[in-house]
A = this chain, B = another copy of it.
Amino acid sequence: MYSQKIEITFGAFNNRHLQMAKLDELQDIVTQTRRDILRMVHKVNSGHPGGSLGCTEFMVALYNEIMDLKEGFDMDGIGEDLFFLSNGHISPVFYSVLARKGYFPVEELSTFRLINSRLQGHPTTHEGLPGVRIASGSLGQGMSVALGAAQAKKLNGDDHLVFSLHGDGELQEGQNWEAIMYAAGNGIDNLISTVDRNGKQIDGPTSEVLPMGDIAEKFRAFGWDVLEIENGNDLEEVIAGLNEAKSRTGKGKPVGIIMNTEMGNGVDFMMHTHAWHGKAPNDEQLEKALAQNPETLGDY
């Protein structure tokens, strides 16, 4: 199907280089990614900046520091770590991180959500965008997919890891708990699933929409090894947390990370509210927001 093999040479941010990368180098990518997100959603006056901005540190760290990635892209991803974005609405951060990593031209970010683009509102394999291995958007499906990919790795004798990201509101979907139960019951210990606990969803704070109690406790009751990242918008903490999670793999249990983030992080007027979950800034707001995130690597 959409499993064409694509030759890509990663640019400045290949893995070996990044192992030595200074934090402020990563921070530059973070800031540039924030700009990308804001400019993408502004242009089409649609899309989801809130969750994207909150997960920027995580996504930048994952792709530029944590994951062991091959050069190029093929669907099977044998011999490299894999990532699945279950909360597909935060596609802007995913696209920016993929493009800045070298999976596709950075200029293509300007086609986000336009007709005939590979950068669909929600990520998809359907248009052959390198870096994407599954469609998401309808919530709650990504952990099951990650589980399948993790099992395939085991069958293939491939000792690389599978990562996934999920919204906290998304965990209200029952399919997640099927997957969570399966992963523990079958000792899927090459999987690291992170929950973006920003405490917000479309209709308001999760505590008002549908109180979820202690998420970590729930994962533990289902048999997972769980750790928390107290501040998921602190790059150092995110990297430390992800490395800690990696060290806990291969021990018979799936590893979960509850990561506290601030929706809309990095743009003062987008923080501490759920209002920007799926709303784009207008011209004036964009300007204000960009001013808080000065250009580092060059706008697309």
Contacts and interface: CB of A to CB of B under 8 A. Distances in A.
Q: Contact size class for A?
A: 20 to 34
A59 to B, nearest CB: 27
A174 to B, nearest CB: 3
B222 A213 contact: yes
Contact of A185 (B176, B185, B212, B221): B212
Interface string A152-182: 0000000000000000000011111110011
Nearest to A175: B174
A44 interface: no
Nearest to A220: B221
Nearest to A208: B185
Interface string A198-223: 00000000000011111001101111
Nearest to A185: B211
Contacts of A184: 211, 213
Nearest to A215: B221
A173 B178 contact: yes
A214 B218 CA distance: 12
Interface string A130-156: 000000000000000000000000000
